[in-house]
Structure 1
Amino acid sequence: MSIPVVTVGDSRDDLVGGLERLHGPVSVVRRCGELAELLAACQSGLARAAVVATGSEELTASLVDRLSAVGVVVIALTDNPEETARLRTIGVAAEALAVDAAALAARISSAVAQLSGAGRRPEPAAADVASSASSGAATAAAQVPRPSGAHAAGTRSAAAVGRIIAVWGPAGAPGRTLVAANIAGELAAEGQSVLLVDADSYGASVAALLGLLDEAAGLAQACRLADQGLLDAEALLRIATTVATKAGTFRVLTGITRADRWTELRAAALTLVLERAREIVDVVVVDTGFCLEADDELGFDVGAPRRNAATLRSLELADTVFAVGAADSIGVPRLVRGLAELQTAVPQASPQVILNKVRAAAVGRSPERQLRAAWERYGPAVSLSAFLPSDPAASDAALLSGALLLESAPESELRQAIAKLVCAPEQRNKKSFVFSSTARRRTNG
């Protein structure tokens, strides 16, 4: 069966004509004048492949994601090695301008087969890698630069992949941001390289919690570069804000400064940001939003941005999901309902459930025992993983000083409980994690 193809740009007549004369693997069904026309044609179901002869610089990760969603692969023609590397980053296969019709048809057939078989973007062909390797400029653009200095943690290999921890919870301020920020701080104090990402599209507050005077919306900047295929390790580390504590240093991608900027956090771009982040740090901690709706009722167009895409994509990519709920008569039912929604929205997630703000005044005597008994009797099949005690004095002191608990209240029970969640066994029984050895401290990199 012939693969329908649409083209855009001033492609060579002999190339398009050659594709049409093959009478087999592919057939050109429309020649478009611009990308908008090509997108409309593809979304109408007219084609399975798109050949971009000129104007490949206008291709973005979000656009490619929209085309992939309707089963269309993109092949771009370019002789620029840097553009070839950029296109590969956003999931576009590249061929030389002088490619002959038969070779292009074979490449289209291979890319369509990959997309159909794997249900994802086609991988770059070996020819792409080989041609990039032969060019110094392309190799430099395609490789992931490693941060220099202590932040590089010299023992990380080029193939090392960090893990992603997502902190989620239902509506009602259960304490997601406090838990996420302090998890990042504890991991950094343990000697790991950490990036904290504020992906809450409703009420980003990591910057305020840490006392950062930030108006730049670091995550939005990173998503913008990723969408263009220009986000490398140097750019990511430059955008991220460095937070230094007494015990360690970590970096932060601050959230959007206004709720109406949620359209900047598109799923395709955020995916690239998190994938790049896990290449250069040991742990990526993501503070997510609360809402798990798919936004289908808001999107009349399949390519329309989704407000909850940042939260859903973060949970889909996470290696560990902490589900945080408030330990009271309102917070627990919200968490139970939220876990059911999480199971529906992200079936692969296996959340570790945390009850936060545990206090006798809201639950009764022996609150942990009562909460566990009630959960086992009425709660979902997911077991409780941890209880975080209510400590308003320590939390208020940390918020007032724009610091983490390990600095403002290192001896508090809340700080010790959060550290126990994520730190190495040999560190868990220590009352304080303030390290004196400079070998265990991170520099600003």
Structure 2
Amino acid sequence: MSVAVVVFGRVGDLPDRLERLRGPVTIVRHCDELTEVIALAETGLADAALLLGPADEIDAAFADELAFHGVPAVAITDEPEVAERLTGLGLGVEPTTTGEQSVADLLELLVSGSHRPARGARHASQTVEATHVEVRDPGRILAVWGPTGSTGKTVVAVNLAAEAAMAGQRVLLVDADTYGSSVAVHLGLLDESAGIAQLCRLSDQGMLDESGYERSCAVVAVGGTTLRVATGLPRPQRWPELRAAALTRVLDFVRRRVDLVVVDVASLLERDEDLTYDTSAPQRNGATLAVLESAAEIIAVGAADSVGVPRLVKALEDLLEILPEAEPRVVFNRVRRSSVGPSPERALRETWERFGPGPALAAQLPSDPEAADRALLQGSVLAEVAPDSELRARIAELVAVTVRRRTGLLGRASGALGAGRSAG
């Protein structure tokens, strides 16, 4: 088997030593830029890559692009921190003391598929000191999604997160809407930094750790407790910052630090590159698809009117075509007589039983514009501005929390979503 290798960087004589072996590994090109490596991978001229150049230029976007084209890579470094970061990106890493025959053998194994470097594996030369790490069961990811139009899904997402936090769960609220993020506004956060973009950037650099997580996520006080919030993009044109692969890694990271991750996502599901690209290209809807694929549960929020119901039917058909194993919980929002009729809940239930694409109707949220507007105006949640509202109680039920009226106390209902723990 012949292995065509492209080399990034011109440090040392390893490429020359590989050539002198006169084995299956052949150096076909020396590249000064990572974009050249990607271009050769796209054309099929490279079977593998040997990375000798500056490690700080190598990020997850580059590693993901190589993986997309099926081109494995080996980086050479003696710096333990750099080695750990690169192995975390899924690259093979060897120290400079490794002989040329060992590097050639590794490249051949990677190309043949006999060996795959594991993401997060540690560099062989590292000495790992034992440290105490809290063992936690991964938390659940709950995606709040819905069809186009003003369905009120952000109101649902924000208050779901607040109710779960007040019931004792450790909660992270994430705004991953690439068309119109608004979680920050609902919570009175004037944040231009886009916490979710910061997390994705750290993930792409292989530098996402506990410190970066805490710096990127705001701590918001609600109802006598707190929840963390990864705010969304302040401007929609920044959507390329939420790469699907990076967001998937972020979700896997944060779910190991909380009990529940509530994610507000955009509506559209089309895979952009299927329409116009033959290569790995940025997808504006990739963030939504990544969240829905990672979610343990999807809450589909639709508007309870003659426009919102058929929109939700069509949107769910599209969702189930992409994710046939998904079992979304269907929720109608802003249920009112003026838009549905004298018995709105019964009418909606009968309509859904007749025309719904499969998933049963899970809940109906009453229209309460006064409470919702007051919460938005004050940058707060329903539990604080309208604790006895029926809307608040119905939303709380979606995370198996029962609101006791008048006393304002919260209790867990049976079958609570995830194991609840006191916020630390």
Normalization by structure 1: what TM-score? 0.86
Give the superposition deviation at 1:297: 6.6
Q: Is 1:264 equivalent to 2:241 in the alignment?
A: yes
Amino acid paired to 1:286: V
Q: Is 1:183 equivalent to 2:192 in the alignment?
A: no
Residue in structure 2 matched with residue 37 of structure 1 by the alignment: 36
Distance 1:29 1:57 in 2: 24
Q: Is 1:68 equivalent to 2:67 in the alignment?
A: yes
Distance 2:68 2:173 in 1: 29
Give the superposition deviation at 1:267: 1.5
**Superimposed CA distance per residue, residues 7-40 of structure 1 (whole angstroms, 9 cap, x where no aligned partner):** 211254355543663524x443333232121111
8 Å CA contact 2:388, 2:408 repeated in 1: no
RMSD: 2.6
Structure 1 residues without counterparts, runs of 5 or longer = 147-156
Comparing 99-108 with 414-423, greater Cα deviation is found at 99-108
Amino acid paired to 2:98: V
Q: Is 1:430 equivalent to 2:398 in the alignment?
A: no
SS of the aligned residue for 2:203 comes to helix
8 Å CA contact 1:189, 1:440 repeated in 2: no
Q: Please list, as runs of the form range in 1=range in 2, the aligned pairs for 1:12-411 lying within 5 A after superposition.
A: 12-18=12-18, 21=21, 23-24=23-24, 26-112=25-111, 122-124=117-119, 128=122, 130-132=124-126, 134-135=127-128, 157-296=134-273, 300=277, 302-411=279-388
**Superimposed CA distance per residue, residues 373-419 of structure 1 (whole angstroms, 9 cap, x where no aligned partner):** 11111120121111111111211111111111111111111111111
8 Å CA contact 1:368, 1:387 repeated in 2: yes
**Paired residue total:** 415
Give the superposition deviation at 1:433: 5.0
Distance 1:313 1:80 in 2: 33
8 Å CA contact 1:299, 1:306 repeated in 2: no
What fraction of aligned residue pairs are identical, expressed as a percent?
47
Comparing 185-194 with 427-436, greater Cα deviation is found at 427-436
Give the superposition deviation at 1:346: 3.2
SS of the aligned residue for 2:212 comes to helix
Q: 1:53 to 1:259 in 2, by over 3 A?
A: same
Q: 1:122 to 1:318 in 2, by over 3 A?
A: farther
Amino acid paired to 2:172: L
8 Å CA contact 2:176, 2:266 repeated in 1: yes
Amino acid paired to 1:52: L
Amino acid paired to 1:158: V
8 Å CA contact 1:193, 1:282 repeated in 2: yes
Give the superposition deviation at 1:209: 0.7
Normalization by structure 2: what TM-score? 0.90
Give the superposition deviation at 1:218: 1.2
Which is richer in helix?
A: 1
Structure 2 residues without counterparts, runs of 5 or longer = 412-419
Distance 2:22 2:171 in 1: 53
Amino acid paired to 1:375: W
Distance 2:63 2:231 in 1: 26
Distance 1:41 1:47 in 2: 6
Distance 1:405 1:217 in 2: 24
